[in-house]
Amino acid sequence: MNGSAASRLFSKFASTMSELSGRPVTFALAVTLVVVWAISGPFFGFSETWQLVINTSTTIVTFLMVFVLQNSQNRDGKALQAKIDELILTSGAQNKFIGIEKLDEEEIREVSQTLAEKAEELEEVADRAEALDEAAGKKPESG
């Protein structure tokens, strides 16, 4: 199996596992297993082997789920970013924001600060326009 096919297969597996692990029935099943394990304690004398069963199984599941969920999150993030880029391209938005996710944290923080300042300026302009409309006796538009 080549790398691309393996990648597609893992992505499909990760998507399925991610979806299944997020369902309420899966949570109920996990709780049931823990309860059954806890109830079985007296039958096994609360032995080290009995404890090892839950410790080992939960450790293995947790370890594997990290990779499964990270794969799903990476793909979801990339898909969302592609959709946002498409919206930027097809609207009047500034194209300089395409690919912004590739900037480092400090650069993203600077862009966010600039956008927050622009939003504040626009809010002030809108407030002044509303005040002028009220002064002129116009009813402000509801939006």
Please enumerate in sequence order all residues whose Cβ is within 8 A of that of 100, keeping only pairs 6 or more positions apart, or say none: 108, 111
Residue 51: CB atoms within 10 A of its CB come to 13
What pLDDT is attached to residue 140? 56
What pLDDT is attached to residue 106? 83
Instruction: With H, G, I as helix, E, B as strand and everything else as coil, classify residue 33.
Output: helix
What pLDDT is attached to residue 52? 97
Q: Are 21 and 65 in contact (CB under 8 A)?
A: yes
Q: Are 13 and 65 in contact (CB under 8 A)?
A: no
pLDDT by 10s per residue, the chain, length 143: 788 888 889 888 988 998 999 899 999 999 999 999 999 999 999 999 999 999 999 999 999 999 999 988 888 888 888 888 888 777 777 777 778 878 888 888 888 888 888 888 888 888 998 988 888 886 655 55
Q: How far apart are CA 140 and CA 126, in angstroms?
A: 11
For the chain, domain boundaries: 3-94, 103-143
What pLDDT is attached to residue 8? 86
Token digits of residue 53: 């069963």
